[in-house]
Structure 1
Amino acid sequence: MLVRDILKNKGREVYSVDPNQTVYEAIATMDELDIGALIVLEGESLEGILSERDYRSKVILKGRSSKSTKVHEIMSSNVHCVTPSDSVQRCMGIMTEKKIRHLPVIEQDKVIGVVSIGDLVKSIISKQKSEISNLRHYIQGQGSYPG
């Protein structure tokens, strides 16, 4: 399965924040949307990503104020990205190695979506269920195994 398949199923909604907004505004948006990260965009340019982990490590534990701290002060600017043609396995490898949970999807230098660890796990489970079903049908003599 490829990233484009995940985006086809989940949609291409990109939740973002401006780098000059306050961290408080960003966290309120994350809470409202029930998400764990926001893409930081200046216009259409990817500037970074802001996660719950950034908030915890760079605001709460440093004793900073979320109402006076700007997103650009705490965002992760070294953003790992993928393309629609990347595989779920490649995404899982990046997330595991870099210890991250969200990957922006880039096409022609524009963010067209985001995949999360949850999206990847759902796609893997869905593929496994399909393969199990196909194997059961094959074993029971109800058709040929397509794999």
Structure 2
Amino acid sequence: MAQQVKEVMTAPPHTVSPDTSIREAAVEMRDGDIGGVVVTDGDRLVGVLTDRDIVVRCVADGADVDSTPVREAVSGDLTTVGPTDSLDRALECMRDQAVRRLPVVDGDRVVGIVSLGDLAVERDPSSVLSQISGSTSNT
């Protein structure tokens, strides 16, 4: 059984810049069959943009997804974990911050992303969340 974040994280993560349009970020998520992208400015971690962020902060407010940059919708209050952090630490961070995805950083460099689904698949493969996370998307 995996013990460290690096054993279950997605690496490298899908990334976009803060100037990327919301539509382009959404296409990246669709094409990657993922629920969020890591936003970076060069090597600097800016935040995580999720499909929910797009709906709540853009679509619901009537934003033009072609002209609105990711920086206007990104979740910037970040909690991160390191690749050698324990899975328990990642779960604790997710619970404490009420987030489903954590950027994985090694020093100043983003090396991956770990999701609640990744941890569910590892910890309890027979759970409903694990089965959903491991299945092919229906979209």
What TM-score do the two structures reach when normalised by structure 1?
0.78
Q: How does 1:89-128 map to 2 (within 5 A)?
A: 89-125=88-124
Give the match for residue 5 of structure 1.
Answer: 7
Moved over 3 A (4+): none
**Structure 2 counterpart of 1:83, which letter?**
G
The whole-number CA distance in structure 2 between the counterparts of 1:108 and 1:96 is: 23
The structure whose residues are more often helix, as a share, is 1
Q: Aligned residues, how many? A: 123
Give the match for residue 64 of structure 1.
Answer: 63
Kindly report the root-mean-square deviation, in angstroms, between the aligned alpha carbons of the 2 structures: 1.3
Give the match for residue 37 of structure 1.
Answer: 36
Higher relative contact order (CA 8 A, sep 6+): 2
Query: What percent identity do the matched residue pairs reach?
Result: 33
Give the Å deviation of 1:63.
1.4
The CA deviation string for residues 65-84 of structure 1, in whole angstroms up to 9 with x for no partner, is 11111001110111110011
Give the match for residue 133 of structure 2.
Answer: none
Structure of higher CA gyration radius: 1
Specify every segment of 5 or more residues in structure 1 that has no aligned partner in the other structure, as ranges: 127-147
The whole-number CA distance in structure 1 between the counterparts of 2:34 and 2:55 is: 15
**Structure 2 counterpart of 1:21, which letter?**
T
**Structure 2 counterpart of 1:6, which letter?**
V
